Structure 1
Amino acid sequence: MGKEQREADIQSIFHHMQLITRRANSRSRQLAEPLTLVEHSLLRFIADTPGTRATDIAEAFSLNRSTVSRQVGTLLDLGYAAYDATESGRGRVLELTELGSDRLQASAAVHRAAVADRLDGWSEEQISTFAEALARYNEADSQ
């Protein structure tokens, strides 16, 4: 593969990743009570990272603490997240409420169904290869 082909392929990958994100946002809006991309991302992070605090979110997403504070405030106001009642003081631990968990599960189900639909007709080997490639791609950020 030449340098020009590599650059064209990278541009194509970037373009398709943008389409995936745009379509996911569009699907989210089809829910009765949709989550924004930010809400979905934060709720997923809180669900996947027990004991997380707003400062952990700011660090993980490379965001300013005040930005995260406003976004977390929205989650609290919507009843999607709450502070752990056993914690007090600054930097309290966040947890999903039952409503937040329900909304996140509904949102994720819509996205998973869309992925399953798009993979219809793919062989098990193709799906496995695609999953491995995505995992490898995402591992680059964790190193």
Structure 2
Amino acid sequence: MQHETRADDVAALHAELVQFARDLVAGGRDAQGGPSFAQHSALSFIARHPGCRATDISDSFGVNRSTVSRQLRGCVESGWVRTEPGSLRSGYPLSLTAQGAAVLAAADRRRLDEVRARVDGWSPAEVTAFAGILRRFREAPVPTTAPDTTTRVGDDAHA
């Protein structure tokens, strides 16, 4: 019985993580026209790695270069990212424009404000514990054992 409870708890945790990821991605642009989640990720990477190329971002994020290129196109068209001269083969070095840095800073402030609002009423110890648990989960090694093939009818968390 204890094994079933643990399996149910793990399934519930998975469902919450899937919903959390969907909420982040679906959040999209805010009312002020800020970056989408994907664009924000690209802008943050460029801010940390000025002169990087689309291939650097795709390698770091583990996504196809075409996915990154689509997001970057929107960032360039919005005036947030500047492409520097470079070879077509190796890609163009990328940097944030002043507007891009301002948009990223504003988006970061709004996102932090959203987190603060969600943990309003939590004790400092609860916030610290939650951050620690998330970090522990994120840093845990992914086991190489066979996947659970249990079918859960109607559970879209597995979609």
Q: Please identify runs of 4+ aligned residues in structure 1 that moved more than 6 A.
A: none
The answer to whether residue 29 in structure 2 is matched with residue 12 in structure 1 is no
What is the alpha-carbon root mean square deviation over aligned residues?
2.5
- CA separation in 2, counterparts of 1:59 and 1:69? 13
CA contact (8 A) 2:86 2:92 kept: yes
Give the partner amino acid of 1:136.
R
TM-score (norm 2): 0.71
Structure 2 letter corresponding to 1:102: A
Cα distance in 2, alignment partners of residues 131 and 114 from structure 1: 15
Q: Using CA pairs below 8 Å that are at least 6 residues apart, which structure has the higher relative contact order?
A: 1
Tell me which structure has the larger Cα radius of gyration.
Answer: 2
Take 1:133 and 1:114, find their aligned partners in 2: how far apart are those partners?
20
* Matches for 1:84-123 after TM superposition, within 5 Å: 84=84, 88-89=86-87, 90-123=90-123
SS in 1 for 2:127: helix
Distance (Å, rounded) in 1 between the aligned partners of 2:12 and 2:50: 36
TM-score by length of 1: 0.78
Aligned residue pairs total: 139
User: Contact (CA 8 Å) 2:79, 2:97: kept in 1 or not?
Assistant: yes
Q: Which runs of 5+ in 2 are unaligned?
A: 142-159
User: Conserved in 1, the CA contact under 8 Å of 2:27 and 2:36?
Assistant: no
Percent of aligned pairs with the same amino acid: 35
Contact 1:47 1:96 in 2 (8 A): yes
Aligned-pair distance for 1:111? 1.7
1:59 correspondence with 2:42? no
Shift of 1:81: 0.9
Q: Secondary structure at the match of 2:95?
A: strand
Q: Secondary structure at the match of 2:60?
A: helix
Native 8 Å contact 2:29 2:37 kept in 1: no
CA distance in 1, matches of 2:111, 2:59: 26
- Higher-helix-fraction structure: 1
Cα offset for 1:27?
5.7
Q: Is the partner of 1:103 in helix, strand or coil?
A: helix
TM-superposed CA distance for 1:138, in Å, is 2.2
